[in-house]
Amino acid sequence: MVTYPSELFQVTGADHSGRYHSSDMQWKTLMKRPVWILLVILTGCGQRIPNVVTPQEYEVYSAWMKYRYPKQPDGALYLASETFIQQLDNCEKELKLKGVDSLRRQLLDLGAAKYPLRLHSKTMHVPWPFEEADDFPPKQIPYGELRYVQFSRVAFNRQRSEALFTVNVGRGYHFRESGETELGLGGGGAIIATKQNGVWIVTDTRCIWIE
């Protein structure tokens, strides 16, 4: 029987998204505008995640690291050098209840794209020593316990006061006697973050998975 690691994910979150509404008269007025103005207006109707990981995304990642690991975790800590593909296909109901379904759709729109991470950027603050790694398990690992943290991209609301992203934590143990590495007891989930008085507050959801 797999015991779900208590360090991962617990429970709670919300989003406020607006849709563009226009009367027939307003639409006729818009149609008289130059084409480029119409494109700007229509493009602005839907939030999209940019092609480069933004400084604010690193702030959200940092908030999660401080929230999940208030004390230094046992063993070696690795952070993935690129984002991973979000796993939200089965989370629609839960995230609608949380009011963040529009943010979920932003993440889904990324498809299978992955993005490089600058883990030593000015807005990325990890409270504990870590190493970057491209794979799990990493190629060179010390004996003992290890953790491998992967972040998805972050979707924000228009006010950039609420965010949705996913985290995946791979776990393992490298045995000195045999030299083998045993993997297991990892997992992940969808995370909601809200900005309160300039500080990102992280909340888990019921959308979780075990590996």
Rounded mean pLDDT of 79-90? 91
pTM of the complete model: 0.77
Q: Which of 203, 195, 190 is nearest to 93 (CA)?
A: 190
Q: In whole angstroms, what is the distance from residue 57 CA to residue 146 CA?
A: 25
Give phi and psi for 107, each to the nearest 5.
Answer: -65, -40
Q: What is the pLDDT of residues 160-207, one digit of tens each?
A: 999 999 999 999 999 999 988 888 888 999 999 999 999 999 999 999
* 95 backbone φψ class: left, alpha, beta (φ>0; ψ -120 to 50): alpha
Cβ–Cβ under 8 Å, residues 111 and 52? no
Cβ–Cβ under 8 Å, residues 196 and 164? no
